[in-house]
Structures are given as structure tokens and as C-alpha cells.
Amino acid sequence: MAETQHAEILIIGSGPAGWTAAVYAARALRDTLVVTGMQPGGQLTITTEVENWPGESHIQGPELMVKMQEHAEKMGAKVANDHIASVDFETRPFKAVGESGTVYTADSVIISTGAQAKWLDLPSEEKFKGFGVSACATCDGFFYRGKEVLVIGGGNTAVEEALFLTNFASKVTVIHRRDHFRAEKILQDRLFKNPKVEVIWNHALEEVVGDENPLGVTAARIKDVTTGAIRELPVHGVFVAIGHAPSTELFVGKLPMRESGYLITEPGSPRTAIPGVFAAGDVTDETYRQAVTAAGMGCMAALDAERFLSEQEAHVEAAVPAE
């Protein structure tokens, strides 16, 4: 028979939003359980250096996630190293089933499954992730002051990343496999007017080239998609900017979501369409996608979950007839 665990607040996902929610929920003396998911710590576990976390001028991404987990557990949160395979929000208490077979029930749920950058799935790209290959200019652009970088993509994400990188890099080359961008016209105009930017049309990344010890990018081989010709660009950073995909497959048909797959919440709130179910962090935020904003949303979700539970308890007490 499958094991069943119950919590007042079940948190699905363990990035900055999840751990912050756990700190606040446990500190409110609520029975709190975090199910970590397949990538405990989220995207920060593949980020080497973090310099924009308040109070930490320099910290490794995995180290920051370990500290956040330790904080949550110190407050009293419990942790299950499992991956949720299915959820049922139509029953009360809510139910989630892990791949381990464990059934998790909860009076309130906070979804913080995050989002994943889309990658090109090149072996060399995987090799240099965190060592010259990135999917977040806002996170890592600072490390490329005075250096040449390459941005791959043709949508708003790519153009915005390229423009941001001009604040640091000496030159930003953008390659796109088509002969035009999909990005908004106003963004394209800004890009084309920037003297630091060069655009190479009809090209795709073929291979990332770099040093072995220590790991670091030195060049990128790009391929002309019309002629097949390959050439090498000397660059120190490669930014893959082909978009992000929210980790919401689990909630298809369970919760309203945008066409892009991001969960819909009430404006300025982590509340979803189902009372008692909240969403926080990159799973609902396709604009900022920062650790600090995710953490703030995790705080909001925990506070709202506490209010929801308190209101439910008040209703139960009011319904009990006086003796």
C-alpha cells in the first residue's frame, strides 16, 4: 500500500520561490512539506556565480540553494526528495502523487516548479554551461565586461538580451537562422542603432569552442544555413536566447494558463483560479525571471496560504454549534 503524507501546506518545487515559501509557511507554524522535484534548487543549481542576491556580493548558485534549504528546514519545513507525477485539485484535501508512489495530501498547495531555458541540445553547449554558455544575460552579463559575446535567437528574448549585454561587452554579435527577427519593431530599431551590435543572418550555432583547464569559451563555430559554410567567431560568452518553457505540464487541464504555458494568477497575487492553490516564481512570471523576484513571490504565496487556512479554520469554528 502506498505511503501517504499530509501537510497543511504542500510546496511543489524547490527553487528560490519554493524555499522562501517554506521559510514563511513553517515560520507561521504551519505543517509544511516541500517536494523538491527532479532538479532540487532549480535553475540556480546550474549557475556558477551569483552577484545580484541581496546581502551576498558573491556566492555560488548551488551554495545559495543549499543555504535556503537549510534555512527552511531550520524553521521546521519537511523535505521529500520526490518528483510529483500527478495532481488532483478537485478533491479536498488536495492530492499529489509522487513518482516514488507516495501520495501527498494537503490543505493548501504552492506551485513553484519554475521554468527552464530552451537549449539547442549541442554537446559543446552542455559542456560549457556555466563556463561561458548562459541563458540569462541579466544573471551573467556582468562577467563579460570588455569582452565579445554571441547571442543566439530572433525573438524579443534575444534582442532584449543583446541590448542588455551592450552595457558590458565590447561587442555583441547576434546570429539568427532566418533573415529577419520576430522581435517587436521598437526593439529591433534599438538593436540596429547600437554601434556595439552586429547581426549575422541565416546562421546557426554549430559548436562552442573553448579551453579545458579551466573550462572557458574562446570561440563559436557558426554555420550558414543556406550554403552550409562554417566559420569561427572569437567570443568569450555564448548566450542562448531562444526562450523559456515553464514547467507546467503537470497542470495542463488542471489550472488556467497562458498560451505560452505560464500559470495564470490574479493580478498582483499568487492566487490561482482554485482557492487554496497558489503559484509563485518563474512558473507564473515570464517577464522578470530573477531569483529575487521568485523569492518575493514565494513569500507572497506563503502569506496568502496562511490566510486561506486561517479563514477555513474560522469558518469551521463558526459552523460548530455552541453547547
pLDDT in tens, 28-46: 999 999 999 987 777 777 6
Res. 321: pLDDT tops 70? no
Q: Tell me what pLDDT residue 46 has.
A: 63
Contact, 43 vs 129, CB < 8 A?
no
CATH of 4-116+244-319, one of 3.20.20.70, 3.40.50.300, 3.50.50.60, 3.30.70.20: 3.50.50.60
Q: What is the mean pLDDT of residues 72-89?
A: 97
Reported as a single tens digit per residue, the pLDDT across 149-172 is: 999 999 988 998 999 999 999 999
pLDDT in the model for residue 224: 97
pTM (2 decimals)? 0.77
Q: What is the tens place of the pLDDT at every residue in 232-265?
A: 999 999 999 998 889 999 999 999 999 999 999 9
Flag whether pLDDT at 60 surpasses 80. yes
pLDDT confidence of residue 281: 96
pLDDT attached to residue 62: 86
Find the helix or strand (DSSP H, E) in which 133 lies: strand 133-134
C-alpha cell at 244: 523559456
Looking at residue 322, what is its pLDDT? 60
Q: Is 302 helix (H, G, I), strand (E, B) or coil?
A: helix
Asked if the model's pLDDT at residue 146 lies above 80, the reply is yes
- Backbone φ and ψ of 241, nearest 5°: -125, 60
Q: What is the pLDDT of residue 194?
A: 98
For the question of residue 139 being annotated catalytic, the response is yes
Environment class of residue 141 by beta-carbon count within 10 Å: exposed (0-12), middle (13-18) or buried (19+)?
buried
Task: Please pick, among 136, 282, 285, 304, the residue that the annotation labels catalytic.
Answer: 136
The two domains 4-116+244-319 and 120-241 share their CATH topology (first three levels equal): yes
Of 82, 107, 140, 285, which one is the catalytic site residue?
140
Closest CA to 198 of 137, 232, 149: 149
Exactly one of 82, 107, 139, 304 is catalytic; name it: 139
| Residue 135 neighbours by CB under 8 Å, 6+ apart | 117, 118, 119, 239, 240, 241, 244
Q: Which amino acid is at 176?
A: H
Mean pLDDT, rounded, of the chain: 93
Share of the chain above pLDDT 70, in %: 97
pLDDT at 1: 58
Q: Looking at residue 94, what is its pLDDT?
A: 98
Asked if 140 is an active-site residue, the reply is: yes
Residue pair 113/248 in contact by the 8 Å Cβ criterion: yes
pLDDT reported for residue 287 = 85
The pLDDT tens digits of the residues spanning 96-142 come to: 999 999 999 999 999 999 988 889 999 999 999 989 999 988 888 99
> What does the domain layout of the chain look like in residue ranges?
4-116+244-319, 120-241
CATH code for 120-241?
3.50.50.60
Please confirm, yes or no, whether 299 is among the known catalytic residues. Answer: no
